[in-house]
């Protein structure tokens, strides 16, 4: 926490206020506003979170060494838009509520409205505003609860978050080195690990979004596990389970009647060992991602053209699968969303180590390992489950 306090003294250098369309990967919780005055509309809201990728995605958790920005979103009541107001941001540090001020200070709040100091004053209130509160490295782990508010100056109407929204800074493992690895398409990329040990710190998807997971050997292809979406037809979010680099991007364009879908396969290199080139590469693969996040989708260079091509004969077209940019992601980053295949409503998830696929859930750190292993069940229970406690994660070992 002391590091955050010290860095927040530089807030004035970094903070900015701007209207912005929420990012596709914006995972911040919308917090309905509370108004001190009991009359009038309360159709306003707040959100706060952090970004580690310059605003492509937002979330509420990061690791202590990660460079990040903390950003608040303010959506005023419609009758306040276009008027002048003040915006307030407060953070709880060491049990005391501190105000972020417009001159870059963190000062204690005495608990009264009269004692409040704004982080931005006399701004024109817009329908959606994003305020960058902090930029830098927090440096130490902890939970940092934030309160937000705004006041419309002519009426004195004051909207705020009645309960704090916590931002979590963890001590999760981060790369301590940079390893140059050969990658798909004849490129070289830099990753942070030389093995898979302990690096899968996040779940690739939420267990509550799934009805069941089946082993590939029982379902279709022994390289993959098959998560089945609980609410068929809805899209679920996909996340990076470890730090990695996008090294291959495969667009499967709709081609009726052979392939009645339009989606992407994403390949991430997580680790390699220069002393054993190719023998210890750690790969993560997702198939049938309906909507990759915008920067990943934009890395596909061939637009509507597919790779592979299905007609007149199947052709893999690896020349179309080298991404324009090898995008680096961190564990827990949002990657996109999927509704699965049009018929089964499932998708493919793989972790490959060296020359073999492995049970991907056994590679995850707890609690994600136990949560997702508990979703396993037999092919006969698809698509709606239920899973079977203790069902074996088996049949892996095929080449990735």
CATH of the domain at 296: 2.70.70.10
State whether 251 and 147 are in the same domain: no
Under a CB-based contact definition with an 8 Å cutoff, are residues 326 and 245 in contact? yes
State whether 375 and 283 are in the same domain: yes
Q: Exposed/middle/buried for 388, CB within 10 Å: 0-12, 13-18, 19+?
A: middle
Q: What are 88-134's pLDDT values in tens digits? A: 999 999 899 999 998 878 999 999 999 999 999 999 999 999 999 99
Range of the domain at 234: 179-381
Q: What are 344-355's pLDDT values in tens digits? A: 899 999 999 998
Which tokens belong to 115? 């004692």
pLDDT band at 25 (very low <50, low <70, confident <90, very high): low
Residue of 189, 144, 185, 188 whose CA lies nearest to 167: 144
- Side-chain-side CA neighbours of 75 within 13 Å: the count stands at 16
pLDDT band at 278 (very low <50, low <70, confident <90, very high): low
State whether 13 and 158 are in the same domain: yes
Contacts of 325 (CB under 8 A, 6+ apart): 246, 295, 299
Assess whether the previous peptide bond of 314 is cis (omega < 30° from 0).
Answer: no
Which DSSP category does 184 fall into? G
Handedness of CA 90, 130, 150, 28 (dihedral sign): negative
In a domain, 306, yes or no: yes
State whether 201 and 163 are in the same domain: no
Q: What's the whole-number mean pLDDT along residues 30-59?
A: 84
Q: What's the whole-number mean pLDDT along residues 232-240?
A: 93
State whether 104 and 150 are in the same domain: yes
| Average pLDDT over the chain, rounded to an integer | 89
pLDDT for position 26:
77
User: Is the model's pLDDT at 2 over the cut of 70?
Assistant: no
State whether 195 and 125 are in the same domain: no
Percent of the chain with pLDDT over 70: 92
State whether 145 and 192 are in the same domain: no
How many whole angstroms separate alpha carbon 69 and alpha carbon 194? 29
Rg (CA), the chain: 24
Q: For the chain, what is the domain count?
A: 2
Residue of 392, 377, 389 whose CA lies nearest to 213: 377
């Amino acid at each position: 926490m002391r590091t955050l306090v010290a860095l927040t003294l530089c807030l004035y250098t970094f903070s900015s206020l701007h209207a912005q369309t929420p990012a596709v990967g914006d995972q911040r919780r919308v917090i309905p506003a509370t108004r001190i005055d009991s009359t009038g509309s309360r159709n306003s809201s707040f959100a706060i979170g952090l970004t580690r990728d310059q605003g492509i995605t937002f979330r509420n958790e990061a690791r202590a060494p990660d460079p990040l920005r903390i950003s608040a979103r303010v959506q005023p009541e419609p009758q306040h838009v276009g008027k002048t107001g003040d915006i307030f941001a407060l953070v709880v540090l060491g049990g005391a509520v501190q105000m972020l001020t417009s001159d870059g200070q963190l000062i204690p709040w005495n608990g009264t409205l009269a004692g409040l100091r704004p982080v931005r004053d006399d701004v024109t209130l817009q329908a959606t505003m994003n305020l960058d509160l902090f930029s830098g490295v927090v440096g130490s782990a902890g939970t940092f609860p934030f309160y937000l508010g705004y006041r419309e100056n002519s009426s004195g109407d004051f909207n705020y978050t009645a309960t704090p929204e916590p931002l979590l800074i963890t001590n999760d493992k981060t790369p301590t080195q940079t390893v140059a690895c050969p990658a798909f398409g004849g490129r070289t990329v830099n990753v942070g690990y030389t093995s898979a040990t302990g690096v899968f710190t996040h779940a690739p998807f939420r267990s509550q979004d799934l009805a069941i997971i089946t082993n590939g050997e029982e379902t279709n292809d022994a390289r993959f596990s098959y998560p089945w979406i609980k609410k068929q037809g809805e899209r679920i979010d996909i996340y990076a389970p470890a730090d990695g680099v996008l090294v291959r991007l495969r667009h499967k364009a709709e081609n009726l009647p052979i392939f009645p879908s339009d989606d992407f396969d994403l390949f991430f290199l997580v680790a390699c060992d220069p002393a054993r080139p190719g023998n210890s590469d750690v790969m993560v693969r997702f198939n049938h991602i309906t909507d990759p996040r915008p920067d990943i989708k934009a890395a596909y260079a061939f637009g509507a053209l597919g790779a592979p091509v299905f007609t007149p004969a199947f052709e893999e077209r690896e020349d179309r699968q080298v991404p324009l940019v090898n995008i680096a992601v961190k564990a827990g980053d949002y990657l996109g969303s999927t509704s699965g295949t049009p018929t089964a409503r499932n998708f493919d998830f793989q972790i490959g180590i060296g020359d073999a696929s492995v049970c991907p859930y056994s590679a995850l750190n707890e609690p994600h390992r136990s949560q997702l292993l508990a979703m396993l069940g037999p092919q006969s229970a698809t698509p709606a489950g239920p899973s079977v406690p203790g069902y074996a994660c088996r049949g892996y070992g095929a080449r990735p």
